[in-house]
Amino acid sequence: MSSGEEVILRPSRLRAIARFLFMLAVTGFHVGLVFAYGDCLLLWLLAAVCAAGTLVSLMKVLDRSACLRLTVKGFFVQDRRGPLFYDWRDVQNFRTGQRNRVLFDFPDSDPAARKARMVARFVAGGEGALPDTYGIAADELAKLMNEWRERHLPKPEGPGTC
């Protein structure tokens, strides 16, 4: 594909490093509390949870494969678990949500998934979400995604069209 038919966006490395350093500091604080008050089980639990969060944030720093790839047919969300593809027809719209996230909803074509979609909307604010803003403000990314969707959505064929 030519560069006009595909765009690849990568997550901000600086943001991932900042999250890792923050989690490392929080973990260090909790480990210090464990050494000061070692008989408290809750402090041990908090230190363990923070250590796990630090490891997850370190994996994000080291993940070089993470990206968002926009194509004519849809978009790929790539991370350490592998690519996840969404066709433009499978997404109704993109919008910004709480905590500077880009959310999207699916068309109401599957009545069996209606309750699951309602729960997802209640919990997360949308039926789907992008895992990152890829170095762009969330509202700008939502606008870009909607533009790509509108531009590459197959036009409905009706009577009188060639």
Token pair belonging to 38 = 């070692």
DSSP letters for 57-112? HHHHHH----EEEEESSEEEEEETTEEEEEEGGG--EEEEETTTEEEEE--TT-GG
φ, ψ dihedrals at 19, nearest 5°: -65, -40
Q: Which tens digits make up the pLDDT trace of 101-160?
A: 899 988 876 677 777 777 877 787 888 888 889 989 999 999 999 999 999 887 766 665
- Burial pattern 13-43, b for ≥16 Cβ within 10 A else e, equals eeebeebbeebbebbeebbebbeeeeeeeeb
Question: Band of the pLDDT at 76, cuts 50, 70, 90?
Answer: very high
Distance CA 60, CA 132 (A): 11
Distance CA 162, CA 159 (A): 9
Enter the pTM of the model: 0.74
Among 59, 56, 79, smallest CA distance to 134 is for 79
Q: Which tens digits make up the pLDDT trace of 14-63?
A: 989 999 999 999 999 999 999 998 788 899 999 999 999 999 999 989 98
Among 17, 23, 8, smallest CA distance to 136 is for 8
